[in-house]
Amino acid sequence: MKHRKRNRARQSNILFFLLLCLCCGLGNLHAQLPELRPNRSEVTADMALSALQMDHLASGNVLVEQGELDPLIAKSGGGACPTAAVGIAMQALRVMSGMKPHASPHRLALAAFRNNPELLNGRLSNKQVVDLMLHYQKHLDNSKLAIRVQSAPNSPYATDANIWDTAGLPDLMLQPNEIKILSYTVSEPSGHVLGRHFVLLKKLDGDTLFVVDPHSPGNDRHYLLEAGGSESCGRYFLRYPPEFQRPYTNELNTVFTVRIEHVDATIPDFERIKSHIDATASTLKTQDKLRSPRDWRRETASFGLPALDLPTDIGGFEWSAEQMLEVFRYAGRHDLNLRDVVGGAHSRILLHADAPEVTELLRGVVKGEKYFAITITEPDYGSDFTSMESTSRKVEGGYVLNGQKRFNARLDQATDVIVITKNPEGLRGKLNVFVLPIDAKGLKIETFGAHGLTGNSYGGLTMSDVFVPDHFLIGEDGKGYDVFSKHFLYWRLMQTAAAIGTAEQALQQMADRLKTRIVFGGPIGRFTHLQQPMGQHTTELKMAHALAVQAARLIDQDRYSEAEPLINGLKAEGVEIALKAVDAAARAFGGEGFSDLVDIGDRLRDLNGLRIADGTTDVMRSAVVRSQFGREFWDMATKGNFEQPKSELPPPGKPQ
C-alpha cells in the first residue's frame, strides 16, 4: 500500500512537471528545476496527453484539430481524423521523450500532405496510418518507433494476420512510452457504414475507455467497451455514455500500438543526422537564415549536432574524427558556411582546460547557446606566429591583455572569443590561449566586408587592458602553441571535408545541367569536353576524401605528428581540387552560373575564401615540404638560414 502511494505521488509529481514544462518551456524549467526532471520511461499516455490538452486549451496551437484539416480532404474522403490523430500521437510521443511539443504542428501536417498526397483522399488504410507515423519519426530525436497493428477478425482493413483472438479482448493495456490509436467503424441505425473514426486512448478504467478525439482534442471523451455477445466472433463496441447518446453504432476496428524506443545517442546514426541536417536546412532557407551559425546551433541542439564531437560528461556524443569527417562533408553539400555549425567547432580548444567555468561554457555549446570566435591573425602577422605582438601580462588573479587582431571571422555572431597572445615573458614562440566573453570590458570589435563565407562576419578586435581571470587560461602558461596547433589540425581536416562536400554537390548540379540543358537540338551532356572534367574532378575528390579518412584515423589514434603532413597537404590540395571542380561546374552553367539563380557562384567564392582561411595553400604546401624533406627547407624560406651549396661537379678542364 505504501509502495502504491509512493507511485501515485511520483506520478503526480511527473504530471505536474510535464504541465509546467509545457506552460513554461522545457528549456527554462530544466535549468531551474533539474532535480524534478522525470525519467522518460515513466511517462504514460495519460500524463502526456493531459499535459498537451492543458497547453492546447491555453494556447490553441499545440494540437492540430480535425476541423482545421477537413477542408483539405476530398469531399468523398470522410474527413482528416486519421491524420489529425497521428499528429496528436506524435506530440505525445515527443513529450514522452522529454522533448517539448513541436512548435509548428500545423506546418508538419501540411508537410505530410506534400510528402504523400494520397493522404488528402481521407480514408486511410492501416498501412497508410503506419507509414504516416514513421514519417513523423524523424521529429523524435534519439528515438525510433515500434508499431503493432491489431484488427478485428471481421475488419475489411485486416490485410494481414494481426487480428485479435475471437475469444479474447484486443490489447488495450497501456504501458509507459506507449500510445494507442483506436479506430472504429461508425454505422447508422440502418446499418449503413459511414466510415471509421480515430481516437487516442488515454486510459482504460474497467470497461470505460477515456480517449482524446481529434475533433475536439482539448476535452476528454469516454466510451463503454461492450462485447457483441457470445456469438460475436471477437466483436467489440464503443457505447456512448448515458449522458451523451447518439444514434450511431461504433464498432472497434483496429488498435495501433505505437511504442517509443529510445536509442543510445552515443551510437553513431549518420543517416538520422543527415535527415535532420536536411530538414533544418530546408526550414532555415525559407527564413533566409541558411548561413546563420547561431540559428543553426539553436535549431539543432535538440538532436545533438553541436555536441557530436564533445565529451559525454558534458552532454556530448564523442564521435570520432572519422565519423565527424562525414558529417562535415555532408553539411558542406548544402553550403560551405555550414562548416561552422557542426560539432563544437572552435570551442573544442577549451577541452585543454579543466576549470569548472570553462566546462560550463562547453555545456552552453551543447545546448546551442554558445558560439566561439577565434583570433590569431594580427595587422602585421599572419602565418608567422613568432611575430605576434599581442601581449598578456600577469596580474593578481589573472592576466591583462593588450593588442590588435585582424581578418578574423565570427566576431559579430560569437558569444565568446578565443584569443592567442604572447606569454608574459615575451619569449619567441611562447604563447598563451585565453577565452573571454565577447562583451568583455576593454574589448572593441571592428567589422568590414568580405568576398565570401558570408555566414559569419569578418573583422578584427582591439584589446585595451582586458582582464581575464586565471581560470580562462587554456592550457599552461607559455604552451599555447601546442594547444592551438593540435586544435587546428583537427579543424583543418574538417574544413577540407566540408570543401569536398561543397564540390561534390556542385558536380551533381553540373551533371543535372548537362542532362537537361538543350543546345543545338540536344542536351549539352553529349559534348564529351564537358563530361571529361566531371570524371576527372570526381576522381580527384574521391582521392582527397580517401586521404582525409586516413588522416582522421590517425587523429583518432592520437597520432597527430603522423597526421600533420597529411592534413596540411589536404588543406592545400583538397581545397584546390574542390575549387577546380566548382569552377568547371560554373562554366557548364554559363550565364546562369554567374547569377544568383543557382548557388554555384557562392560555392566558388566561399572556396576562394577557404583557400586563405585556416592556413593558406602556399603555407600549407611549405609545411608539407618541411615535414617530408627536412626543416632546412623551411628555415631557408623563413630565416634566410642557408649556405652556398658546394658544387659536386669537377673543376673545368678536368675529366669527369
Q: How far apart are CA 157 and CA 139, in angstroms?
A: 28
Number of domains in the chain: 2
Average pLDDT of the segment spanning 358-373? 96
Res 637 pLDDT > 80: no
pLDDT the model gives residue 122 = 84
pLDDT band at 651 (very low <50, low <70, confident <90, very high): low
Q: How far apart are CA 471 and CA 484, in angstroms?
A: 17
Average pLDDT of the segment spanning 312-320? 90
Whether 211 is covered by a domain: the verdict is yes
Whether 432 is covered by a domain: the verdict is no
Whether 635 is covered by a domain: the verdict is yes
Whether 402 is covered by a domain: the verdict is no
Q: What count of residues does the chain have?
A: 656
Which one of 244, 262, 280 terminates a domain?
A: 262
Which region among 37-46, 431-440, 600-609 has the lowest average model confidence (pLDDT)?
Answer: 37-46
Res 389 pLDDT > 80: yes
Whether 10 is covered by a domain: the verdict is no
Whether 349 is covered by a domain: the verdict is no
Grid cell of 45 as nine digits: 499516455
Residue range(s) defining the domain that contains residue 135: 35-262
Q: How far apart are CA 336 and CA 329, in angstroms?
A: 9
CATH of the domain at 144: 3.90.70
Which one of 205, 240, 262 terminates a domain?
A: 262
Q: How far apart are CA 208 and CA 550, in angstroms?
A: 63
Dmax (CA) of the chain? 125
Q: What does the mean pLDDT of the chain come to?
A: 86
Which one of 209, 240, 262 terminates a domain?
A: 262
- pLDDT tens digits for range 213-224: 999 999 889 999
DSSP result, 528-587: HHHHHHHHHHHHHHHHHHHHHHHHHHHHHTT-HHHHHHHHHHHHHHHHHHHHHHHHHHHH
Res 656 pLDDT > 80: no
- Residue 271: how many other CB atoms lie within 10 Å: 8
Q: How far apart are CA 394 and CA 425, in angstroms?
A: 9
Q: How far apart are CA 489 and CA 548, in angstroms?
A: 12
- pTM over 0.95, yes/no: no
- Residue 646: how many other CB atoms lie within 10 Å: 6
Phi, psi of 191 (to 5 degrees): 95, -5
pLDDT band at 169 (very low <50, low <70, confident <90, very high): confident
Average pLDDT of the segment spanning 420-445? 92
DSSP result, 491-514: HHHHHHHHHHHHHHHHHHHHHHHH
Whether 437 is covered by a domain: the verdict is no
- pLDDT tens digits for range 285-310: 989 999 999 999 999 998 899 999 99
Q: How far apart are CA 223 and CA 283, in angstroms?
A: 41
pLDDT the model gives residue 43 = 81
Task: Confirm if 240 and 246 have CB atoms less than 8 A apart.
Answer: yes
CA atoms in the 13 A half-sphere facing the CB of 463: 31
HEC string for 486-497: HHHHHHHHHHHH
Whether 237 is covered by a domain: the verdict is yes
Q: Which helix (H) or strand (E) holds 76?
A: none
- pLDDT: is 9 or 260 the higher one? 260
Question: Among candidates 113, 54, 62, which has minimal Cα distance to 90?
Answer: 62
